[in-house]
Amino acid sequence: MAYPTSRASGRSDAFEDRREAGIELAARLSKYRGRHDVIVLALPRGGVPVAFEIAEALDAPLEIFVVRKLGMPGHPEFAIGAIASGGVRVLNEETVQWYAIPASAIEAVASRELVELQRREREYRQGRPLADLRNRVAILVDDGLATGATMRAAVQAVRALGPSSVVVAVPGGAPETCQEFADITDETVCARTPEPFNAVGLWYRNFSQTTDEEVRELLRRHEARLHSGASER
């Protein structure tokens, strides 16, 4: 999703920052704590600080799940599919057929998006493959849902990797968008659904952009803590 890089909200019910949002959201996901089949998947970059708090609270692995929308040629805001971590590509075949989009045009769009996906994979994974999602509860996390287009693409992509269930968890979202996700997920958790919602950044007092270095640091911290906990058990 494309959000403002920084926005200071004066709303009394706004989250202080993504960390506070993650802590509140984690409390709503407490039933998943201690389960060995749970994995938390963060949509970079804004979803990572939120997902970090959730993974810490649930004592679950934290992974980056990179997803890039494939926009219709000439109308990039209209998604016709997505590519994602794990080599997944999903297409809305009905849309492709209805608009008679040629395969060459789809390949051109996918090639452009693949460049950024691979950059982020290199930046955050540093050669590590995506964890096996088969028969696991995949909790997809972002810092909010406005239109939900990117998260919808992420759900499609994760489904293709064979999890036992897909959970979408966000601190806040437009009420109608959160309701729509009930049809494509096994569970959708939107901690807050204010009306009107307008934009994700309005519901954070500190909505500064998450940097690549912050993403790497949070991933390192969580992995180190998980390994430390495993060695003590």
Residues 136, 23 share a domain: yes
> Is pLDDT above 60 for 232?
no
Length of the chain counted residue by residue = 233
Residues 192, 136 share a domain: yes
Residues 78, 59 share a domain: no
**180 inside domain:** yes
> Is pLDDT above 60 for 2?
no
Region 185-198: mean pLDDT is: 92
pLDDT-derived band at 230 (thresholds 50, 70, 90) equals low
Residue 134: count other Cβ atoms within 10 Å of its Cβ: 9
pLDDT at 79: 83
Who wins on pLDDT, 147 or 217?
217
Q: pLDDT exceeding 70 applies to what percent of the chain?
A: 93
Residue showing tokens 């995506």: 130
- Tell me phi and psi for residue 15, to 5 degrees: -70, 150
CA 15 to chain centre: 18
> Is pLDDT above 80 for 99?
yes
**5 inside domain:** no
Residues 184, 106 share a domain: no
Residue-number span of the structural domain to which 118 is assigned: 69-124
Residues 60, 142 share a domain: yes
153 and 88 Cβ atoms separated by less than 8 Å: no
Region 106-124: mean pLDDT is: 92
> Is pLDDT above 60 for 1?
no
pLDDT-derived band at 6 (thresholds 50, 70, 90) equals very low
212 and 46 Cβ atoms separated by less than 8 Å: no
**13 inside domain:** no
SS3 assignment, position 170: strand
pLDDT, tens only, 28-79: 999 999 999 999 999 999 999 999 999 999 999 999 999 998 999 988 878 8
Q: How distant, in Å, are the alpha carbons of 53, 98, 170 from that of 22?
A: 5, 40, 8
Bridge-partner residues for 201, per DSSP? none
pLDDT at 12: 65
SS3 assignment, position 223: helix
Residues 207, 160 share a domain: yes
pLDDT at 3: 30
Residues 75, 60 share a domain: no
CATH number at residue 79: 3.30.1310
Residues 166, 150 share a domain: yes
Residues 42, 152 share a domain: yes
106 and 80 Cβ atoms separated by less than 8 Å: yes
pLDDT, tens only, 167-191: 999 999 999 999 999 899 999 999 9
Instruction: Point out the domain boundary residue: 124, 151, 171.
Output: 124
Residues 159, 223 share a domain: yes
**1 inside domain:** no
Q: How distant, in Å, are the alpha carbons of 19, 130, 157, 168 from that of 180?
A: 26, 28, 17, 12
Residues 182, 228 share a domain: yes
What is the number of structural domains in the chain? 2
Please state whether beta strands 75-84 and 165-172 pair in parallel, antiparallel, or not at all (unpaired): unpaired
CATH number at residue 44: 3.40.50.2020
pLDDT, tens only, 80-91: 888 988 888 888
